[in-house]
Amino acid sequence: MTDTQTTRLLIIGPPGAGKGTQAAAIAERYGVPAISTGDIFRANIKGGTELGKRVQEIIERGELVPDSLTNEIVQDRLTQPDAAPGFLLDGYPRTVDQVHALDGMLDGASLDAVVLIEADADAVVARLLKRAEIEGRADDTEEVIRHRQEVYAQQTAPLIELFSDRGILVAVDGLGSVEEVAARIAAGLEAKLAAPVER
Ligand code: ADP
């Protein structure tokens, strides 16, 4: 992969922080696909594929899918043509091992920015319970939501310091309307990156 005219972004944050919604807007702005590992897994569960069968129970318990399997899926997805101008990864990497795997996939190319949506645990539980009524996700029960938050705190939160040390972290307050949060992200990303290249 070359480093010219590519935009490689990540979005991280606790479950329920609104990553998916913001990811779509950011991806459109930078002309890159938004790639959500959670969406890929859910589509496979829905479609009854081999992968779906392997991950269904893990996801319903709020555990993480094993790194090796997740890394393989991302590696495969990133080689598809639409990811040539770059990507916005939503929900990946989620462990330190996944960060190293992603570094390997990029083969020396660097990430441009990591958007962190910060949100308070109690606020996101309320948000997710509301989403459960609308979307009916099997992992949106209160018990599983609490567990997903613990998993985030233990496995994913350490990535924040790692990306901060690399100088690519853009942290925004996730409290507020979708538009308010989107505006904070846009401003933060603009400050971190050069103005988006017209494609
Ligand atoms: P949320 O961040 O709201 O929990 P996601 O859609 O990102 O929702 O993830 C849903 C579930 O999919 C996770 O709880 C986990 O089981 C699985 N998953 C998604 N991404 C990863 C990943 N990078 N590594 C391991 N498991 C993952």
Q: What is the pLDDT along the chain (199 residues), one digit of tens a residue?
A: 445 679 999 999 999 899 999 999 999 999 999 999 999 999 999 999 999 999 999 999 999 999 999 999 999 999 999 999 999 999 999 999 999 999 999 998 999 999 999 998 888 888 899 989 999 889 999 999 999 999 999 999 999 999 999 999 999 999 999 999 999 999 999 999 974 444 4
* Domain boundary assignment for the chain: 7-191
Instruction: Please report the pLDDT score of residue 4 as a whole number.
Output: 60
Instruction: Please report the pLDDT score of residue 198 as a whole number.
Output: 46
Q: Does residue 94 carry a catalytic annotation?
A: yes
pTM for this prediction = 0.93
Distance (Å, rounded) from C-alpha 189 to C-alpha 112? 9
Distance (Å, rounded) from C-alpha 162 to C-alpha 108? 17
Backbone angles phi, psi at 172, to 5 degrees: -130, 150
Distance (Å, rounded) from C-alpha 103 to C-alpha 199? 26
Q: What is the CATH number that goes with domain 7-191? A: 3.40.50.300
Distance (Å, rounded) from C-alpha 189 to C-alpha 192? 5
**Dihedral in degrees, nearest 10, Cα atoms 104, 109, 112, 118:** 10
Backbone angles phi, psi at 139, to 5 degrees: -100, 15
- The amino acid that residue 133 corresponds to is E
**Three-state SS at 83:** helix
Q: How far apart are the first and last CA of the chain?
A: 18
Q: Which atom of ligand 1 is nearest to the CA of 19?
A: 2
Pocket test for ligand 1, best of 10, 56, 59 (most atoms within 8 A of CB): 59
Find tokens 């505006």 and name the residue.
183
Q: Which atom of ligand 1 is nearest to the CA of 66?
A: 25
Q: Say if CB 9 and CB 87 are below 8 A apart.
A: yes
